[in-house]
Structure 1
Amino acid sequence: MPDLQLGAIMLTVCESVSNAISHGNGHDINKHVQIRVECSKRELSFEIEDEGKGFDLGQVPDPTEIKNLKNEHGRGIFIIRNLADDVQFANNGALVKIKFKLSREHQFLL
């Protein structure tokens, strides 16, 4: 797997887990984050699910707007959407489904 794709996968999954811990579970040590992974010859899929109430995706500010450029937070979903091949939010955002397509070279490794 090329370093660039591996880096994108790691950053996306880490960002999703960080969001689940911080925003979803509110750093509550009594709440859990579930991470499910599925690998096929064509794609690598992750599901990250927290125990929070979820969020309104439409209320998440666009970090590329001028007024948000200097904000220290608020880029996680933007990063996830731009690095993964497919992203879906379910359960009001408490469940994030992320997919990465594997190139032909990667299929020989499985």
Structure 2
Amino acid sequence: MTMQWIAILAALGWCLLQVITLLISSQCIFLMIEFRSDNEHKLYQKLLSNFIIYLFYSLFILPFISLSLFIYGVINITEWCELKPGLWVFAAWWLALFVLSFSLSMKKKYRI
């Protein structure tokens, strides 16, 4: 019984953390200002631009997925390992944020 209460408090903390990650994701929109360039004539330029756009959208979707997986794991929790899927999606969010910033820096560096 106490494990369920601790899990509920952890879920509330996780909700707050996901709201913060969503706010960070919304700040990434400032990275996207003047993103599209007019010289995207080659295939790899268009592919990189589309890849960056999809990463940008995934930054908004992943906190919701992580939150739902974490809350689903809290319901009738018996072991702490049931919360791992939510943690993995949160790690994927950090990876997507890193890859987005790296891709944008590559786009600026090579003026694609």
TM-score, normalised relative to structure 2: 0.32
Higher helix share: 2
Higher percent of residues as strand: 1
Q: TM-score, normalised by structure 1?
A: 0.32
The higher relative CO (CA closer than 8 Å, separation ≥ 6) is in 2
